[in-house]
């Protein structure tokens, strides 16, 4: 069985060469950031459940989030579409209305793409961004003892998806924070630029496959393990009125997961609150020396508990 990590390791070995481009949220080439995302019908979305305007928004937002994770500014957007011939033109008009709204919001230009037909809708989106600081945020770079932080948005995408698929779309449901987190997640472009320019953030990734899965990516790249503060996570779960599993495994959140040194925490929190007074950030763990596994819970008694299920794998593997 194919598993995502093994496939990525294989591709790095075969194609990275001296450039070391593959393996991050974006490829970094000169001063440009380049990323590609895909959405496939019945894998990433159900055609009958999501209005086309929101599908258009999700496609753009999720792709721009990769730029946010590297601390960049999105500039150009390319869209490849595989469409059924029977699809009404009105569906496409609504889809592109959603695309246009997000691109306009972030001052990004639709610069081209490709069209084809097929039995199921498949969407391929490529974004090109600019580096905004002296460096970029990468998955590699966590240091032993670094704290693990994440931004906290309103709602939970996993719960929002369940509500939409169960109840459909109505005016009432569109005021639900969980539903909007699923339908129209916000790429944290400004926060990403803040993180790269404040100078104390060592690594970063956007939460697209769930905190556990994406934290495991950070651990792998830095050859460290991470212990999650169980008590703090329980408090966050209570505050957000979701289960611990939903908080740790909900994908397509597009919040940012990153690390800073413990001594830099007071400075970082002060600056973050000044810049983003209406946003929340939480300290949820710490990078520790590489152990047998990548992820552990740390309880109030100081005991490490192995995390055995780390969430979503694009190919269903468990490695």
- Please, what are the averages of pLDDT over each run of 10 residues along the chain (319 residues)? 62 58 75 93 90 96 96 97 95 97 98 94 96 89 97 95 92 92 95 96 96 95 95 93 94 96 98 97 96 87 79 40
Residues 283 and 176 in one domain: yes
CA separation, residue 113 to residues 41, 103, 130, 310 (Å): 19, 15, 20, 35
Q: What is the pTM of this model?
A: 0.90
Residue 37: domain span: 4-131
Domain with residue 115: its CATH number is 3.30.1330.10
Q: Are 161 and 265 in the same domain?
A: yes
H or E stretch including 222?
Answer: helix 211-222
Last residue of a domain, one of 88, 107, 131: 131
Do 154 and 116 lie in one domain? The reply is: no
Identify whether 175 is part of a domain: yes
Instruction: Provide the pLDDT for residue 159.
Output: 96
Three-class SS of residue 318? coil
State how far the Cα of 24 lies from the Cα of 18, in Å rounded to an integer: 15
pLDDT of residue 55: 96
| The pLDDT value given to residue 66 | 95
For residue 179, the domain's CATH number is 3.90.650.10
- Output the pLDDT for position 70: 94
Output the pLDDT for position 172: 85
Are the CB atoms for 147 and 259 separated by under 8 Å?
yes
In this structure, is residue 313 part of a structural domain?
no
Residue 282: C-alpha distances to residues 116, 245, 258, 265 (Å): 44, 17, 10, 11
**Is there a domain that residue 197 lies in?**
yes
Same-domain check for residues 174 and 101 = no
Contact by Cβ (8 Å): 25, 68: no
Task: Tell me, yes or no, whether 214 lies in a domain.
Answer: yes
Q: What is the Cα–Cα distance from 153 to 240, expressed in whole angstroms?
A: 9
Q: Which residue has the tokens 């440009």?
A: 32
Per-residue model confidence (pLDDT) at position 292 = 86
Q: What pLDDT, on the 0 to 100 scale, is given for residue 134? A: 80
Helix, coil or strand: residue 286: strand
Residues 68 and 167 in one domain: no
d(CA 100, CA 57): 8
Q: What are the tens digits of pLDDT across the range 19-69?
A: 556 556 788 888 899 999 999 999 888 999 999 999 999 999 999 999 999
- The count of domains in the chain is 2
The residues, any chain, with a CB within 8 Å of residue 113's CB and separated by 6 or more, are 78, 79, 80, 81
Q: Are residues 112 and 170 in the same domain?
A: no
235 and 99 within one domain: no
Are 92 and 224 in a shared domain? Answer: no
């Amino acid at each position: 069985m194919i598993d995502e990590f093994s496939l990525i390791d294989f591709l790095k070995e075969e194609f990275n060469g001296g450039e070391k481009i593959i393996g991050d949220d974006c490829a970094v080439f000169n001063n440009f950031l380049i990323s590609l995302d895909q959405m496939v019908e019945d894998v990433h979305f159900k055609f009958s459940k999501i209005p086309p305007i929101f599908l258009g928004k999700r496609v753009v937002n999720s792709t721009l989030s990769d730029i946010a994770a590297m601390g960049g500014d999105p500039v150009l957007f390319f869209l490849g579409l595989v469409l059924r011939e029977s699809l009404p033109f009105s569906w496409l008009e609504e889809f592109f209305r959603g695309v246009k709204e997000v691109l306009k919001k972030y001052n990004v230009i639709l610069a081209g793409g490709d069209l084809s037909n097929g039995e199921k809708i498949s969407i391929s989106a490529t974004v090109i961004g600019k580096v905004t600081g002296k460096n970029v945020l990468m998955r590699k770079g966590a240091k032993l003892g670094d704290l693990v932080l994440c931004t906290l948005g309103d709602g939970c995408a996993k719960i929002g998806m369940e509500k939409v698929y169960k109840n459909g779309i109505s005016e009432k449901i569109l005021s639900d924070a969980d539903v909007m987190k699923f339908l129209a997640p916000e790429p944290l472009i400004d926060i990403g630029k803040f993180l790269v320019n404040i100078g104390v953030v060592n690594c970063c990734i956007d939460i697209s496959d769930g905190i556990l899965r994406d934290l495991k990516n950070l651990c792998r790249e830095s050859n460290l393990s991470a212990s999650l503060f169980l008590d703090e996570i329980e408090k966050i779960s209570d505050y957000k009125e979701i289960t611990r599993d939903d908080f740790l495994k909900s994908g397509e959140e597009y919040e940012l997961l990153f690390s800073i040194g413990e001594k830099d925490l007071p400075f970082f929190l002060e600056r973050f609150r000044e810049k983003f007074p209406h946003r929340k950030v939480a300290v949820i763990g710490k990078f520790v020396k590489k152990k047998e596994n990548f992820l552990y819970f740390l309880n109030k008694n100081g005991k490490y508990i192995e995390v055995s299920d780390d969430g979503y794998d694009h190919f269903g593997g468990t490695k």
